[in-house]
Chains A and B, each alone.
Chain A
Amino acid sequence: MSGQARKICMLGDFGVGKTSLVSRFVSNTFSERYLTTVGVKVDSREVLRDGADPVKLVLWDIAGRSALDALNTSYLRGASGLLLVADGTREATLRAALDLLMQSRALLPKADAILLINKLDLVDRWEVAPATLAELRESLPVYETSARFGDGVERAFADLAGRVAA
């Protein structure tokens, strides 16, 4: 295999858009339909970087519900990066994402983590307040994204790629 590859785990409550973000990023597609992920699906895409070697992100899309118990299983092992996802229209999913971050950090202290607040296209229905995100930004990178339209998606993955490749 050419260049470097890094394992990234998608973590977050069910229905926040993990699977959608991966398909937007990997194949530039989106489906309105919600299909619960069970277990794990592995996908990958190479990220080109300015003035540095490309890095391949191997994305582990883990089931929303089993994510917490997945911490004990082998899904998370070997990950260099954590991509936490919350749904802006459901405040509770942000708390869930932060919980997952804490627990996974204990398991993977060296992994880089970023937080995506997804469904930016529904911003009029967001329960997450901008001030909350401004505060969170002090402790980890936060991106507002829309898997539906693609906004913020490239940038978020590129940022994580840069972090895990370093």
Chain B
Amino acid sequence: MNAREGSFPPEIENLVARLLIERARPLVVCCDRDWRIVDVHGDVEAFGCDGRGEQDCAVEFEELFLGLPLDEPVDLPFVQLKTGRVAHVSLVPGDAGYTIVFLDAQLEHDRQRVQQQLGNEAALAGQQKTRAIQQLREIRGELEQQRTRLQEANALKNALIATLSHDFRTPLTSIFGYLHLLEQHVDRDDDTQLSLRAIRRNATYLLTLSENLLEYGRSESGATLLNPEGIELQALVDDLDAMFRPLASDLGLAFLIELEDRGEQRPILDETRVRQVLVNLLSNAVRYTARGGVVARIAWRGDVLEAEVRDTGIGIPEEFRERIFVPFNRGVRNGSKGAGLGLSIVKRLVEQMRGELTFTSVAGQGTCFRVVLPTLRRENGDADRIADEGAWMHSHSALVVDDDPDVAQLLEMLLVDIGFRVRVVHDADTAITEALANPPDVLLVDVELPRLSGNTVVFRLRAQGYRGRIVTLSATPTAEARAAAIAAGTDHYLTKPLNIEQFVRIMRRAVGG
């Protein structure tokens, strides 16, 4: 069949025209060149133009055709008009103005909208699902870790409370009381005074140990206050010798403790903790050795302290090696009489001092523990620090961003205390302007600002190329919150309640102090 070009019979043309007009409900508006309506034909109601002022229509038309070359026809499908209706809009330029034709496109628009909405929502939901699954995985991992940590900490805490309240505190109090009485009654130059001093010394160690245990139980996370000081290694070695030689000889064991390389130096270390590490290692060595002996060597290598405690004892069987550092591992080693705390404390203390703890052991032949402890000089300042303090003082600046005036004031006091010049601002925009105009050495941002999180401040600064140090404070101790802050570009993430020592250390380190 051949389709013929050209016109249809008039009755068909009329029919088609009527159908199209019914569907499209055309509105034809003629305006002059200032968009003033000159003439209107068609379905005024369909476009809701009837109720509106001419001025409004003029503005709408002008905006619609703004910037277009109006000497040629313009065609805009799917225009949402001010009245809310959707139309296909065409403009035909004429001699005196323009003819604008509106064809109703609401139905087609709605149909397409439903379709696209479904597609878009599905795409967005897909992305969100992927992300949510990822997050769930992370949260689960984190929860598992937390659970393990909590179980350990809990076991430790319970036992500590029991141990400390009875087995340590009470007898120590009575020892010190009787010591005091005895010291009053014994003549100053009597040899017995020496014995009493030895008792006092050892009782003091016990007290130190119990105090540290308390601290250990308290601080489940985060750094503990280290106390760097110049220590007299020879005196330490002498003390240990006086402490363990009698013990060893009672058990028929040989005992030797040596200080290699005895120079003049007084390494900067945390004496109480170093002592405690060695006391624990030595008492374990003596406890688990039936024949032979114990040899300890201590050496100062200029920037690290090396200590080695070697025994000829029962050794640690392969299958227990993982567990010896777990607190309260009673029964792991045969003949164990202690609480099973010693090695876990040693490990903890060595970690606190950022040292290393290693061991080798052959079951039935003996064990050798090695500890390497770096000097605390760089991290925590040293004897020279007091002299430097003056110069350091006020040469560093900090900008504190916190909306809570009390917290801001607390931070300011802390920072001024350690020698910072401090500016405080309370909102994100001021913080950004201020940090860019006058970059501080450290920017301290609270995450929990009202509305937008403090991370946005950090992000926006980093996105402007800001390179200064940033420390973020937050009340949320989760890995996820930390990751978010780090992703936004912070250098340090500290959680509240603030660990003051850690805070001070990080602030100092941030400015290379």
Contact = CB atoms under 8 A, between A and B. Distances in A.
B142 interface: no
A126 B463 CA distance: 12
Interface string A29-57: 00000111011111010000000000000
A149 B452 contact: yes
Contact of B64 (A42, A123, A126): A42
Interface stretch (B72-80, B305-313, B397-405, B416-424): B72-80
Interface string B119-151: 111011001000100000000000000000000
Contacts of B76: 40, 73-75
A147 to B, nearest CB: 13
Given A44-B63, A65-B116, A74-B75, A130 B452 contact: no
Given A40-B78, A124-B453, A14 B64 contact: no
A77 interface: yes
Interface residues of B, number: 50
B325 interface: no
Interface in B44-91: 59-60, 62-69, 74-80, 86
A12 interface: no
A142 interface: yes
Interface stretch (B15-23, B211-219, B481-489, B498-506): B481-489
A131 B116 CA distance: 34
Interface string A111-127: 00000000011011110
Nearest to A151: B452
A122 B484 CA distance: 10
B66 A58 contact: yes
B120 A36 contact: yes
B4 interface: no
Which one of B86, B123, B463, B489 has the highest number of Cβ atoms from chain A below 10 Å of its Cβ? Answer: B463
A39 B459 contact: no
A166 interface: no
B490 to A, nearest CB: 10
A80 interface: yes
Given A78-B68, A133-B463, A125 B131 contact: yes
A120 B77 CA distance: 33
Interface of B: 59-60, 62-69, 74-80, 86, 105, 109, 112-113, 116-117, 119-121, 123-124, 127, 131, 428, 451-453, 455-456, 458-465, 481, 484, 487-489
Given A39-B79, A126-B487, A130-B489, 9 more contacts: A5-B63, A39-B109, A58-B66, A78-B69, A124-B455, A125-B484, A126-B488, A130-B463, A144-B463
9 contacts: A7-B66, A15-B124, A34-B121, A36-B117, A42-B80, A120-B452, A124-B488, A137-B465, A151-B452
Interface of A: 1, 5-7, 14-15, 34-36, 38-42, 44, 58, 63-65, 73-75, 77-80, 90, 120-121, 123-126, 129-131, 133-134, 137, 142, 144, 146, 149, 151
